Amino acid sequence: MGTPFGLDDDAFHEECGVFAVCGNPEAAALAALGLHALQHRGQEAAGIITVDNGSFFAHHGIGEVGDIFASPQVMARLKGDMAIGHNRYSTAGGGGMRNIQPLYADFEFGGFALAHNGNLTNAMTLRRQLVQRGALFHTTADTETVVHLMAMSRANDPVGRMIEALRQIEGAYSIVAMTQNKIIGVRDPMGVRPLVLGKLENGSHVLASETVALDIIGAEFVRDIKPGEMVVLTPEGVTSLMPFQPGPSRMCVFEYIYFARPDSNIDGRNVYEARKRIGAQLAREAHVDADVIVPVPDSGVPAAIGYAAESGIPFELGIIRNHYVGRTFIEPTDQIRHLGVKLKHNANQARLEGKRVVLVDDSIVRGTTSRKIVDMVRQAGAKEVHMRISSPPTRHPCFYGIDTPSREKLIAAQMEIDEIARFIGADSLSFISVDGLYDAMESAPRVAASPAFCDACFTGEYPIALTDVSTDVHNASASALRSEAGK
């Protein structure tokens, strides 16, 4: 897929969201609603597979959920009382219909569907071994590796085969899978990616990447799936297994900073409140005399509210976001790309003119968008522009399910903070410290040997082996390996 019009892709992208429901006659409609609530986790493509009396029905499409599943005819074809669904953000080179999940395969035990959020860090190594053994891959998605490992398994049932396959896998994952008569959900042993269990009034159960997908369908939140846990859903209820030795929990801290919806609760923390606390901590660490605190919408809003409350400086919507910027038929030439931020954001001049402004944003990736926003605020008449970032400097790429540039394209890996400030044109620039972030998360102080979160993008300390990167599979760069994962 091409880049959304008006954006230069100077942002991090979550690569997918998953949803599953078992034992409900409206399974397909519930799945579509759940995926709609998880749209922020992937806007490139989506798919739903259902089961009805042993027969599987599927619909996949490129685009957003509301368009893909808008047709009553499409929904009518998705028969059955079980469904799994997937939203996808495709990395470069990983797009196309063949990679849209859920994936489907026929086994000797019957049909099997699988959807995955995260990234498998030894998938390319395993893929090469499987191809040498005769496996024929149909996608470039690392998720398909699980299907082939299950095919090689000698276990007697789908659950046993899946356990055997996942014991060979390294990486971060939340997975939902479906057989003819059950839903399977599993979270990696360190719990890097989120997965929650919910329950509907009729007693049927739901799995989803975030609690907002439960809210939209009126499901009660039951609990977070534990790191290393597998749950099996049937119309009779939920069975919990612990087939994988759980490691120390390493939930991705960026879920709280940016990726999850602010109205979600993840591992017992409300995301909105966490972002406000991060903003307040940022104000304590990097106070500057100013007239207004302005968020870079929308992800900077909760942190800016926290910053304003702590600093005592008024909060203002000095930048207004156009929520209706979508794709266009216009070819984005360099001249048009230059207008990109103006299409997405517009300065509220009445709130900025003559003011000393603190801009609060969640991150700086390449720095090009920050540069345009700072310039836009200056053109609106701001007297000073100070940038405050609610995450530490991102100096390392993610290999666990977030699409990040290679290290040489991360501005914080190439420049000191004062150099970045000059590049983006800000009077000053500060990031929250790693220790401050942990304080704001109400966590124990960070210990290098055992941090409470996965913070590798800030620290370079990767908690899960990077086999494909360290063995330089096919002489591919780390960036190319992430592209091959392509979820």
**pLDDT tens digits along 383-407:** 999 999 999 999 999 999 888 878 9
Q: Tokens in use for 381?
A: 């008449």
94 and 233 together in one domain: yes
**The pLDDT value given to residue 259:** 92
Mean per-residue pLDDT for 8-16? Answer: 66
CATH number at residue 301: 3.40.50.2020
> Has residue 286 been placed in a domain?
yes
Question: Quick one: which of 118, 260, 235 has its CA closest to 181?
Answer: 235
**The pLDDT value given to residue 325:** 62
Q: 413 exposed, middle or buried (CB, 10 Å; 0-12, 13-18, 19+)?
A: middle
Q: Tokens in use for 132?
A: 């040498």
Q: Which amino acid is at 333?
A: T
Q: Residue 315 carries which DSSP code?
A: B
CA angle 87, 14, 348 (to 5 degrees): 105
Mean per-residue pLDDT for 403-413? Answer: 90
**The pLDDT value given to residue 480:** 43
> Has residue 334 been placed in a domain?
yes
80 and 182 together in one domain: yes
> Has residue 259 been placed in a domain?
no
pLDDT at 431 over 70: yes
Answer yes or no: 16 catalytic: yes
229 and 284 together in one domain: no
> Has residue 415 been placed in a domain?
yes
319 and 197 together in one domain: no
* C-alpha to C-alpha distances, 246 to 117, 158, 485, nearest whole angstrom: 18, 21, 24
Neighbours of 52 (CB within 10 A): 16
Mean per-residue pLDDT for 258-274? Answer: 96
> Has residue 477 been placed in a domain?
no
pLDDT at 472 over 60: no
**The pLDDT value given to residue 370:** 96
> Has residue 284 been placed in a domain?
yes
pLDDT level of residue 147 (50, 70, 90 thresholds)? very high
**The pLDDT value given to residue 344:** 81
Q: What is the DSSP string of 195-242?
A: -EEEE-TTS-EEEESSTHHHHTTTPEEEEEPPTT-EEEEETTEEEEE-
Residue of 16, 22, 252, 454 marked catalytic = 16
The mean-pLDDT minimum among 158-172, 389-403, 427-441, 461-475 falls in: 461-475
Are 400 and 193 within 8 A, CB to CB? Answer: yes
245 and 285 together in one domain: no
How far separated are the first and last CA of the chain, in Å rounded?
Answer: 12
218 and 292 together in one domain: no
**The pLDDT value given to residue 245:** 85
73 and 131 together in one domain: yes
72 and 39 together in one domain: yes
Q: 60 exposed, middle or buried (CB, 10 Å; 0-12, 13-18, 19+)?
A: buried
pLDDT at 451 over 90: yes
Q: What is the DSSP string of 124-157?
A: HHHHHHHHHTT-----S-THHHHHHHHHH---SS
pLDDT level of residue 478 (50, 70, 90 thresholds)? very low
For residues 377 and 345, what is the distance between their CA atoms, to the nearest angstrom?
A: 11
Q: How many domains does the chain have?
A: 2
H or E, element range at 7: none
Average pLDDT, the chain: 90
Q: Which domain holds residue 381?
A: 271-455
CATH number at residue 183: 3.60.20.10
CA angle 213, 214, 220 (to 5 degrees): 170
Question: Quick one: which of 99, 88, 102, 83 has its CA closest to 30?
Answer: 83
Q: Give residue-wise pLDDT tens across range 17-44.
A: 999 999 999 999 999 999 999 999 999 9
222 and 317 together in one domain: no
For residues 473 and 406, what is the distance between their CA atoms, to the nearest angstrom?
A: 16
Neighbours of 72 (CB within 10 A): 8
Give the pTM: 0.91
